[in-house]
Amino acid sequence: GIGARDLEALATGVDPEGRPVLWLGDIGDNRDSWPSVRLHAIREPVRLVDQEVGSTTYEFNYPGGGTNAESILADPDRARVWVVTKGLLGGEVFRVPLSTSRVTTAVRVTGGVGGLTTDAAMSPDGSRFVIRDYLRARLYDAPVTAANLERPTPVALPFQELDEAVTFTRDGTALLVASEGERALWSV
């Protein structure tokens, strides 16, 4: 029952009540023209069967106007979500204030995380996060702060056509990367 314009990102975390959710980012805005974008918190069902599940929508905008993004980060233990924008010359990281009663304005954490960011993920234990673009990935220590974003650890990735996806393995010891241009799933 959620509306969708350009669904781009998915992350696991918890909602403000501490319930497990899938965060779904309706944050793609290729023309940088939308006055606001949305995060949907979709409650994880107890049993995985064909069913309708509840969701809550959080609408927000950026301080400088419409911005394209394909990546979100979600804290696994607290209701905190960040968006990584996809700028040609460089992306920015924004924390999203969560409110269901009003459209909020995202808070800029920092810029300069690299251009054309295609995905990001938080490790299952919340101790690290990764941000990738079409050519490389960078690993950071958590929490998501301007200081930590200044200290990336480069991660070599296999060459892929249209490099898009990244996540951590369940135990957090490796990254899984995928592409829109091939069917391979790589463990790095």
pLDDT at 89: 85
Q: What pLDDT score does 80 carry?
A: 98
pLDDT at 131 over 90: yes
Rg, Å, the chain Cα set: 16
pTM here? Answer: 0.94
**For residues 19 and 43, is the Cβ–Cβ distance under 8 A?**
yes
Burial level of 63, CB count in 10 A (0-12/13-18/19+)? exposed
Beta bridge partners of 166: 177
Per-residue pLDDT tens for 4-37?
899 999 999 999 999 999 999 999 998 999 999 9
Dmax over Cα atoms in the chain, in whole Å? 44
Task: Identify the pLDDT of residue 186.
Answer: 94
Res. 127: pLDDT tops 90: yes
Mean pLDDT, range 109-124, rounded to an integer: 92
pLDDT at 41: 97
Q: What is the pLDDT of residue 181?
A: 81
pLDDT tier, 182 (very low <50, low <70, confident <90, very high otherwise): confident
